[in-house]
């Protein structure tokens, strides 16, 4: 003989299922949000230019990543320590960001792109919709 669950038991099961669905949705939202920040987090920190001329620290700025000069080999360089040279860099794919770049040597703003591969970072300042770009290579310091 089988028994039919009573109202209280059915109500408890429905609430339990709803709670499980809500928790699953919250976990999915949290994972999606952390994936976005993980992309940005990989580039955060200090990077040394391969030619040894400068170091830049990337840090969060608003909902993006910005980079400011932290060290210059040549005290007479046109750039200054503390000067932002990468602005509004937002994820644009796997290990890639896009935003704006400032070149202190010529005083111009460019379309900026960054690509990360392990402890190596490539940055590019581009004009004419990306037809002409100047790329600089960086190594992660810390």
Rounded Cα gap, residues 68 and 4, in angstroms? 68
Taking the C-alpha atoms of residue 67 and residue 70, their distance in angstroms, rounded to an integer, is 9
Tokens 């609430």 label which residue?
15
How confident is the model over 99-132, as pLDDT tens digits?
A: 999 999 999 999 999 999 999 999 999 998 878 9
3-state secondary structure of 21: helix
pTM exceeds 0.85, yes or no: no
Closest CA to 80 of 49, 48, 104: 104
Structural domains in the chain, CATH included, are: 42-140 (2.40.128.520)
Q: Is the pLDDT of residue 86 over 80?
A: yes
What's the DSSP call for residue 123? E
Q: Percent of the chain beyond pLDDT 70? A: 71
Identify the band that residue 36 occupies on the pLDDT scale cut at 50, 70 and 90.
very low
d(CA 115, CA 38): 15
């Amino acid at each position: 003989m089988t028994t039919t669950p009573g109202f209280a038991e059915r109500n408890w099961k429905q609430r339990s299922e709803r709670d499980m669905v809500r928790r699953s949705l919250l976990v999915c939202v949290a994972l999606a949000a952390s994936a976005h920040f993980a992309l940005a987090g990989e580039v955060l920190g200090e990077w040394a230019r391969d030619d040894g001329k400068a170091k830049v620290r990337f840090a969060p700025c608003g909902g993006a990543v910005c980079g400011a000069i932290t060290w210059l080999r040549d005290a007479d360089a046109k750039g200054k320590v503390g000067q932002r040279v990468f602005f509004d860099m937002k994820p644009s794919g796997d290990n890639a960001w896009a935003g704006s770049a400032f070149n202190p040597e010529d005083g111009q703003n460019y379309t900026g792109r960054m690509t990360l591969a392990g402890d190596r970072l490539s940055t590019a300042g581009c004009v004419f919709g990306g037809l002409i770009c100047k790329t600089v290579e960086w190594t992660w310091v810390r």
